Amino acid sequence: MGNAKGERPVSKAEVVAGNRALVGESPVWDERDGSLLWVDILRGEVHRFRPREDDDRLVARLPVPVGAVATCRSSGLVVAAGMGFALLDEASGELTHLATAGRGDRMNDARCDPAGRLWGGTLTLEHRPRAAALYRLAPDGRLITVLDDVTLSNGLAWSPDGTRMYYADTVTERVDVFDFDIETGGVRGRRTFVDLHDTPGRPDGLAMDAEGGLWVAMARGGTVRRFAPSGRLDEVVDLPLPYVTSCAFGGERLEDLFVTTLCAGLGEAELARYPEAGAVLRIPNIGVAGLPAARYAGTSGGAR
């Protein structure tokens, strides 16, 4: 795909949704209706953007911060919100509690693995070292603590063949990789996939493409970087602002890259300098297709 360390131009990024989201996060493409789900963590909002109608609609405003959203296989949505996981009825906005996490102050990023388990982690507001955790929610609702020494749990992704899991604990300034057992959900052999200490920004959200390339959103670094399965950097998407949070593939052929951003904590001068802060950006026809987003295999109950 392209040349090693190729750079994609800023001009390709376009604002498609969001209006000064405090912390836009968790973009996920819903192939059922060709829309992009995303959240504003601090406002507790779940949004659905429909490109065909150019319509970004508020699905629900929750009473707690919402770190991530995912779709269910049957119907409905599941969220990592507050300090746990819940089903979200899109019609009424009602939550059905599934499980409570035990470590940290709130849920952060979450993703489904290829077998339909939902993985999500926590953080503490002070980013206390090793005071948070990474959890795995089984389809039957059982919650398993996978890692209990996390500081700021963030991006998750799986290789196309399901044998590798990638994970970013942001403060470590690296992305780690595990050997993954798709049958059991077990992980082992944790090791550094890519060290980002010398790269502007810190690793946040992750996205996997169909060729096995891992895309890393660099928080406060203004880029999304693609790494080959070997860990070699071979693409850099330079964005018009530094405050990126996550990324996901979407569009009719899964060849558009959607990027969420934040504006929380920015002063008037920064907001004036970066008018796109808090928006959802799209880079069309990125040059490689993504993978369909996995869905939670648990029952959706009354969610619709």
User: What is the DSSP code string of 210-229?
Assistant: TTSPEEEEEETTTEEEEE-T
Q: Is the dihedral of CA 197, 201, 207, 209 positive or negative?
A: negative
Instruction: Name 105's Cβ contacts closer than 8 Å, sequence gap at least 6.
Output: 83, 122, 123, 124, 125
Cβ atoms 157, 206 nearer than 8 A: yes
Cβ atoms 215, 257 nearer than 8 A: yes
User: How many alpha carbons fall within 13 Å on the CB side of residue 119?
Assistant: 23
User: What is the DSSP code string of 142-174?
Assistant: -EEEEEEEESBEEEEEE-TTSSEEEEEEGGG-E
- Provide the phi-psi class of 125: left if phi over 0, else alpha when psi is between -120 and 50, else beta: alpha
Please pick, among 169, 204, 209, 256, the residue that the annotation labels catalytic.
204
Is residue 89 annotated as part of the catalytic site, yes or no? no
Cross-sheet strand order for the sheet of 187-195: 153-158, 164-169, 174-180, 187-195
Kindly list the catalytic residues: 204
